[in-house]
Structure 1
Amino acid sequence: MVDDRLPTRVRVGYALGSLATGAFGTVPGLLLLPYLTDSLGVAAGLGGILVLLPKAWDIVANPLAGRLSDRTVTRLGARRPYLIGGGLTVAVLFAALFAGPASGAAGAGYVTVIFLLTATAYAAYQVPYVAMPAELTESATERTRLAGARIVVLALAILVSGALAPALVDAVGGLAGYRVMGVGVGALIAVGALAAFALTAGAPTGRIATAAGTLRAQLKVAAAHPPFVRLLACFVIQAVAIGTMLAGVRYFADHVLDRPGANSILFACFVGPALVVMPLWTRLGRHLGKRAGYLLASVLFAAGGLLLAAAGALGAGWAYGCTALVGIGYAGQQTFALSMLPDTIAAASARTGRRQAGVFTGLWTAGETLGLALGPGVFGLLLSATGYVSSTGGGVPQPASARTGILFGFTVLPAAVMLLGLLTLRRYPPGGGAELDGRAPGGGRVSRGTAPGGGPDRDPTSTSDQEEHR
């Protein structure tokens, strides 16, 4: 049997690119709303909208970035030029994001403009980056290995940025703390982008057809592939749950636990267990199937969120334990979603014979970033509705209604939204859609050379891939 494993250098390099996605995907959702409400004095509802609007632009920017990278032909490859150009631009703009005017109106306007530019640059980095696994290998098993390595680094990036960024803000204090934090996180983003660019040099690109058709036509093809649509819908809805919980961490620590420094501990409890259980989720997926693993992980996330609702009465220790359970569920949810995505892309590409990974991942990343941005928007509106008092220095006593809103928004609401997303996976096929080309879930022959994992021209008797999608 031909060895379809990627070189270790390529797997490591690709995984290190998640230092950038993990940092940018975590820190704005964790600190940008508190920065607006508790440092610039922006009203909570308005702050939530300001965090949402630049991310809503991703609905347009991400598919365009995907189509552009699909049509790119350079000596560096189709995707790699965007890793270096987009990644370094994100790093610089992120450092600038917290370096603006300190007054409410001017500061809020500055944040909105810079965040919009940063989101645009991030689309140019993230979309090509997420598209790469579907082209690096035709093996569903190897794509799972890529996803597993990526999630390990992603978890480390989330842990480092999510735990240390708030601690750095608190250690330095005030606006200066946010500015120092911005430079530090920007440097982490730059390291991830540079590593991904350098170590994937010379990586295999699989069998890539020429990109064809208008953007509208390619989007129509993506929408016509039901497994992708169902998986995307689930992931977007669940991203809202994750974004809402991220936005509430600092408020929960300050006003429910009455421990201002507990936000870093909560985040460490959220991400730390993921580093241990990630390989276990991957092994479990081989036995249960990716869809079943996804369902189980999402239920664990929701259970931890519901149990967190008792933290006001049971204290910080209870909160830390429940947050760890949420983190275990989050690790599995991310692992299975990101390994199921290239399966659906490969299956759709086998049907059409066209190079469309960028379009699919453009839609995926647009949905993910929109969902993560909707979380702070929802949380900000909830704070506004329950009477949260904004300030320019923090530490303002909050009414009981605001504390109740914070507790609900950090616990029950994310749990309910996480479970809601699972409704879209009821008809998700076991092979990511390869059966649409002639292989039904119960068996049968795969036409057009497509295996259950979605890769073209694979041996339909391959034991590893059959087990992967059993």
Structure 2
Amino acid sequence: MLPGMGVPPLGRSVRVGYAVGSVATGSFATVPGLLLLPYLTDTLGIAAVLAGAIVLLPKALDVVLNPVAGRISDRYESPLGPRRPFLLRGGLALAGCFALLFAAPDLGSRVVDATWVLVAFVGCAAAYAFFQVPYIAMPAEITDDYAERTRLMSWRVAVLTVAILISGGSAPAIRDAIGGRDGYRVMGLTIAVLLAVGTIGAYYGTRAAPIGRPAETTGTLREQLRVVAQAADFRWLLITLMLQALGIGSMLAGIDYLARYVLRDPGAASIGFVCVVGPALLVSPLWLAFGQRYGKKTGFTVASVILGLGALGLTAAEQVPTWTVYLAIAVVGIGFTGAQVFPLAMLPDVAAVDAARSGIRRAGVFTGIWTAGETLGLALGPGVYALVLAAGGYVSSTNRDAVQPESAVTAIVVGLSVVPALLIAVSLFTLQRYRLTADEVLEAR
């Protein structure tokens, strides 16, 4: 019997409603990773190492905050369900903080500029924790169907790729069209609107979702964290996710630098996002079919290999024609799509099996640790990239056209190609330690 047979499928409205939340998650995961480091180094004139720390520290806060947000949403009682109220509150707070993030007042003080960005980004990180954790915890409670979770995630990833296209493609274009600090301010307001749209869409779109409450949560947060940490399948999946998030974060941070100093075309950053998302929209249903036939773990493995090969292809960016760089970016997009679909579908399986075996609802705690790991990886990525830039002698300036030494240009390429490729290669070994099968998920039901 197929996993999940006998469980009613989710309606399309629920799938679409849930997926709309990825407009918020995709926009926030993309734009700061793409533009915050260049904003700090090339508009505010903050040194690369300090800029990397400003990007990292607020996200590092989520390592502590995300499990707490998960625990709170696990225990929350509401006629609207345990998760949905947090979507609205956290998402709207995120939109407000994001509008302020790129709106530092021009007072001629780098200390004021750096402090403004740091405080605003801390606010973003805190608000995002209380949106993202309940949002990602929902699939484990929306359906018990092993295959349905993959379908739900495929809808989410489809919307995610569109969100990345819209936010990642338009943000640099808006900034460049207006220019200077005003360009960043208008871009920040525009992305804040997208965050609000994703928040409201997910909140109202999941109002009919059959979210169950299988059992009451028990034990302290520390006790539950210890139990979750002892779940071997979750642990290896989390390590794999963190390694890949670190690599993706490094690649994302380097795109704007690649466009300006290697391809010599500031508009190439937007073109690069089209090259990522265009193929992703086409291959998302193919990844779904591949996973249904060969399994989620196999699909995740193949997607990771393709992602790593695409990153490796970018090592020659200084020597090859521009179109081949875009081709390598498209390969990254194909792998990235699968590397999003499968782990997001595997996490609810782990949480659901744990709930069935223990009788304790810990989906929020699982998700809190998961999102903390992913957030830390994505935050460390720009930090690692900033260190690579600093090692290459990158020159920070308030003039975005500052001349860079050859060593800095080489560092720009290494940081978005060699470093991610190595991290993804290591993640393939940790992924093989994941053992949970479709039969075990079915048995736990």
Asked if 1:43 corresponds to 2:66, the answer is no
Between 285-294 and 373-382, the greater mean CA deviation after superposition: 285-294
Confirm or deny: 8 A CA contact 1:174 1:393 kept in the other structure: no
Q: What is the aligned counterpart of 2:440 among 452, 456, 459?
A: 452
Asked if 1:150 corresponds to 2:138, the answer is no
For 1:207 and 1:21, how far apart are their aligned partners in 2? 25
Letter in 2 for 1:379: Y
- Partner of 1:314, secondary structure, is coil
What is aligned with 1:244? Answer: 250
For 2:86 and 2:147, how far apart are their aligned partners in 1? 26
Aligned residue runs from structure 1 range 61-100, under 5 A: 61-100=65-104
For 1:365 and 1:454, how far apart are their aligned partners in 2? 25
For 2:289 and 2:164, how far apart are their aligned partners in 1? 23
For 2:125 and 2:443, how far apart are their aligned partners in 1? 32
Asked if 1:339 corresponds to 2:339, the answer is no
C-alpha change, 1:380 and 1:455, in structure 2 (3 Å) is farther
CA drift at 1:422: 1.6
CA drift at 1:456: 4.2
Asked if 1:14 corresponds to 2:18, the answer is yes
Aligned residue runs from structure 1 range 432-451, under 5 A: none
Aligned residue runs from structure 1 range 98-247, under 5 A: 98-102=102-106, 103-247=109-253
For 1:385 and 1:455, how far apart are their aligned partners in 2? 52
1:68-98 Cα deviation digits (max 9, x unpaired): 0000001111000001000000011101111
CA drift at 1:4: 1.6
Confirm or deny: 8 A CA contact 2:95 2:192 kept in the other structure: yes
Aligned residue runs from structure 1 range 258-297, under 5 A: 258-297=264-303
- Partner of 2:212, secondary structure, is coil
CA drift at 1:101: 2.6
Confirm or deny: 8 A CA contact 2:147 2:292 kept in the other structure: no
1:388-416 Cα deviation digits (max 9, x unpaired): 01111210010000001001111111111
Confirm or deny: 8 A CA contact 2:233 2:436 kept in the other structure: no
For 2:114 and 2:424, how far apart are their aligned partners in 1? 31
For 2:208 and 2:360, how far apart are their aligned partners in 1? 22
Q: Structure 1 residue runs of 4+, over 3 Å off?
A: 454-457
CA drift at 1:453: 2.4
Between 73-82 and 342-351, the greater mean CA deviation after superposition: 342-351
Asked if 1:416 corresponds to 2:404, the answer is no
For 2:10 and 2:334, how far apart are their aligned partners in 1? 28
For 1:133 and 1:356, how far apart are their aligned partners in 2? 13
1:305-324 Cα deviation digits (max 9, x unpaired): 11111121112111001100
Runs (5+) with no aligned partner, structure 1: 433-450, 458-470
For 1:248 and 1:180, how far apart are their aligned partners in 2? 22
- Partner of 1:138, secondary structure, is coil
Runs (5+) with no aligned partner, structure 2: none
Letter in 2 for 1:452: E
Letter in 2 for 1:135: E
1:147-175 Cα deviation digits (max 9, x unpaired): 10000001110111001101110011110
Count of residues paired in the alignment: 439
What is aligned with 1:465? Answer: none
CA drift at 1:454: 5.3
For 2:303 and 2:408, how far apart are their aligned partners in 1? 31
Q: What is the aligned counterpart of 1:326 among 322, 326, 332?
A: 332
What is aligned with 1:406? Answer: 412
